[in-house]
Structure 1
């Protein structure tokens, strides 16, 4: 079987102007260094890993270090830059639009511009904004508009509102935790049930969500009597999950036992995961021994085509 047409839903863009300005706007509070990146380097990595298309997103901290109009302007600049790459190479790149959150009004305008003028493939959200998680009532207008557009929403972890452990930058352990936090917050506040036209992708196999899903589903009805175990499990299984940094047999055993059929997607986390790390996890993914039927081909490409049908051309 060939893997030459992977769709990578977890690949990052680093616009040079954003990277240059980031240190002046708080840098990356997670403690992770920004790697070198160029479109040419991305294409080389993709070719070496049999990736046909990378859906590009701006990683944490996104544009949260900017303030007011400068935040709005930077989000627009990032989106237009990435859209330019897609226009030049539509088969090789896609675009998850960056939103100037937590400014809801400006973000609604950016959604409109990004879909109606840039033709984006979806949007990227951080797991929290200033410590506010995505199930919060303040995000209701955002979810309503994304649901109206049947949007693909890629959720990327951000630094949680707590100090990092010395010697352990956020991406090592805090990021999977924050993904789990926002996913459960969305479920208990009805986002996944109320806005059922959206397709929400969780990074890194959903953090700890698949592994701990039944723990959450057993405990939460005691705090939220209106929720049942079955409803909680159903809503958690409505997420999509990427395989970035999660191709090991240990992670896949849990993920594939939990996720709905068609809800697991290939992800590399390039370039923030070094190419050697991404390649190692990709090799693990390809050599996992417990797939059934066409499961690997679905993860690598077919499930992505369901979310991004333009790539069928």
Structure 2
């Protein structure tokens, strides 16, 4: 699902029939951002901040309005580490607690029931923050393909390769998804391709990174 559809977010009135059906089937709901329901700010590409804010805006009412609690058999996945959710979770929890009278710790626990993918987000600051916040088993690999160029996905996948220990990397790359989608555990593991020479691979990564940054920030050399 899109985080918002022309300004309508996932908590809008009239969606209960949808949530009931998804809950009955134990569905997995993947929420991906769209453009904010407002004009983009000049010189701030939506990729840089707006998409992350859109995802955060989708998560907030799911917790604020009790959708996660009323429909506990739906597993929600938020792309791009959930936008700003891991970083702003306590701030949002305090706000929701003040509005609803709930405990901030209970609100935080609701946010932590969400699953998060690593698409375009496995950087040296974002990844440790996500792992510190998310429940064990709730972080999944993401590349943002086909929305982002392959070079962009590879650039951030390299951050995952070098940023976590082998056990965590294996869990994010496969075993966490197998627990969420048990049928995947029965699928044969593909034979890994022969690794390219280190110097060639590193050169390709550098070229991909430069190409990616030229796409999202014109004028970057």
Q: TM-score, normalised by structure 1?
A: 0.57
Post-superposition offset of 1:167: 3.4
- 1:136–1:189 Cα contact (<8 Å) kept: no
Q: Which SS does the other structure have where 1:201 is aligned? A: strand
5 Å-filtered alignment, 1:15-34, equals none
Q: Which SS does the other structure have where 2:125 is aligned? A: helix
Aligned equivalents of 2:94, 2:43: Cα separation in 1: 34
Q: Which residue of 2 is the match for residue 260 of structure 1?
A: 135
Q: Which SS does the other structure have where 1:302 is aligned? A: helix
Aligned equivalents of 1:272, 1:144: Cα separation in 2: 30
Aligned equivalents of 1:221, 1:307: Cα separation in 2: 30
Q: Which residue of 1 is the match for residue 112 of structure 2?
A: 237
Q: Which residue of 2 is the match for residue 31 of structure 1?
A: none
Aligned equivalents of 1:232, 1:194: Cα separation in 2: 14
Q: 1:136 aligns with which of 2, 5, 12?
A: 12
Q: Which residue of 2 is the match for residue 178 of structure 1?
A: 54
2:184 aligned with 1:308, yes or no? no
Q: 1:297 aligns with which of 153, 156, 170?
A: 170
Moved segments of 4+, more than 4 Å: none
Q: Which SS does the other structure have where 1:245 is aligned? A: coil
Q: Which residue of 1 is the match for residue 121 of structure 2?
A: 246
Post-superposition offset of 1:212: 0.6
2:105 aligned with 1:216, yes or no? no
Question: Higher relative CO (CA 8 A, sep ≥ 6), structure 1 or 2?
Answer: 1
Aligned equivalents of 1:129, 1:228: Cα separation in 2: 31
Deviations 1:109-131 (A, max 9, x none): xxxxxxxxxxxxxxxx1111221
Post-superposition offset of 1:312: 2.0
- 1:265–1:299 Cα contact (<8 Å) kept: yes
Q: Which residue of 2 is the match for residue 65 of structure 1?
A: none
Q: Which residue of 2 is the match for residue 277 of structure 1?
A: 152
- 1:204–1:246 Cα contact (<8 Å) kept: yes
Q: Which SS does the other structure have where 1:238 is aligned? A: coil
2:64 aligned with 1:188, yes or no? yes
Aligned equivalents of 1:177, 1:139: Cα separation in 2: 22
Aligned equivalents of 2:98, 2:152: Cα separation in 1: 41
Q: Which residue of 2 is the match for residue 43 of structure 1?
A: none
Aligned equivalents of 1:150, 1:228: Cα separation in 2: 27
- 1:241–1:263 Cα contact (<8 Å) kept: yes
Post-superposition offset of 1:137: 2.8
Q: CA RMSD in A?
A: 1.3
**Number of positions where the alignment pairs a residue of Structure 1 with one of Structure 2:** 186
Q: Which residue of 1 is the match for residue 194 of structure 2?
A: none
Aligned equivalents of 2:44, 2:158: Cα separation in 1: 26
Deviations 1:46-80 (A, max 9, x none): xxxxxxxxxxxxxxxxxxxxxxxxxxxxxxxxxxx
Aligned equivalents of 1:284, 1:187: Cα separation in 2: 30
5 Å-filtered alignment, 1:103-142, equals 125-142=1-18
Unaligned runs of 5+ in 1: 1-124
Q: Which SS does the other structure have where 1:163 is aligned? A: coil
Aligned equivalents of 1:303, 1:243: Cα separation in 2: 13
Aligned equivalents of 2:184, 2:53: Cα separation in 1: 32
Q: TM-score, normalised by structure 2?
A: 0.80
Unaligned runs of 5+ in 2: 187-221
